[in-house]
A = this chain, B = another copy of it.
Amino acid sequence: MKPRSATIHDVARVAGVSTASVSRVVSGDRPVQDETAARVRAAIEQLGYKANLVARSLKTRATNTIGIVAPILASDFFMLLAESMDRELTANGYSLIVCSSTESEVEEAKRLTLLSDRLVDGIVMIPTSDHCPHVGAIQARGIPVVFIDRLALDVDADAVLVDNEGGAREATEALIADGFRRIGFLGADPDVLTARERYAGYRAAMEGAGLAVEDRFTSFGKLDHIESGYRAMESMLAQPGAPEAWFIVNADNQIGATNYLMTAGRAHRGRVVFASFDEMPYSPLLQFCRYSVSQPIAEMGGLAARILLDRINRGGAGKAEIARLKTTLIRH
């Protein structure tokens, strides 16, 4: 059942050379005479030899493995990210280990140490909150970390973010240009910098147009929960004099809010308009959403992967770099 496969020794014996020569042929590092190389290759073929990557890793101290940890795997944002990272990493001989922090700082810490125990060569993470005290220990172990989508304030590391403030401002301004004077904000999660930046962009647009931000119509809640968007929309629309136009912080909250309007809140339909962060394949199909702010998710993943590989190759040197990518406003 467990066929112990051929080793480099077997190949060396069959080819009548030393293990070092076999290793050289396999890795292609150093020059080997054509004829011996041919003998080695023949032996490899004959025995069906495959290098044992675990043994190699033990020796080289590199696993060619990258870890990624995110609050939730089952989100549109994460899966597009995973896809683009997979593409970039596979092309460079790396594999991707995924972990969910299940939105818990404790679990997040566990996953990070698990990954570093596995000796991954680098880590990409979407932090659960603004504070990641445990990341320092990972970096101290010599494993580079790149943040994506969100930033931890207490850590010095590379990051790939988007211009959250600019994107939110642009979308809010579009609503204003359409004639809306009163606009609410849905999903101002105070624990996540990304949400705070989007809120700041919304405020900037409102104030720039001389419009009032009504605290009654700013809802707080969890960023990654559909349920949260549903509840927020429900309670805000229950208030007298609720606005018609809303800026929504992300796709999950938009799904929740839309869901409310399609079911229990259907009485409010017909006079509600959204602008929302995140453009997804199904975005054009949702009602109410006039504008969405599209993030270049694939670029973000590719860039994060490249930054990480770069840092790995440079041995971790160089100071942290924060990339801000532009968003695109889409009108439906």
Contact = CB atoms under 8 A, between A and B. Distances in A.
Interface of A: 1-3, 5, 50-55, 57-58, 61, 63, 65, 72-76, 78-80, 82-83, 86-87, 90, 95-100, 111, 114-119, 140-142, 226, 255, 258-259, 262-263, 281-282, 284-287, 315-317
A1 B142 contact: yes
Contacts of A51: 117
B97 A96 contact: yes
Given A74-B80, A286-B285, A53 B118 contact: yes
A interface majority secondary structure: mixed
Given A96-B97, A117-B51, A79 B74 contact: yes
Contacts of A1: 142, 315-317
A25 B238 CA distance: 60
- State the copy count for this chain: 2
Contacts of A255: 281-282, 285
A117 B285 contact: no
Contacts of A79: 73-76, 78-79, 82
Nearest to A50: B117
A140 B3 contact: yes
A90 B95 contact: no
Contacts of A287: 285, 287
Contact of A97 (B52, B57, B95): B95
Contacts of A97: 65, 95-98
B53 A55 contact: no
Given A73-B83, A83-B100, A259-B284, 14 more contacts: A50-B116, A58-B58, A74-B79, A76-B76, A86-B98, A95-B97, A95-B118, A97-B97, A97-B98, A255-B282, A255-B285, A258-B285, A262-B284, A287-B287
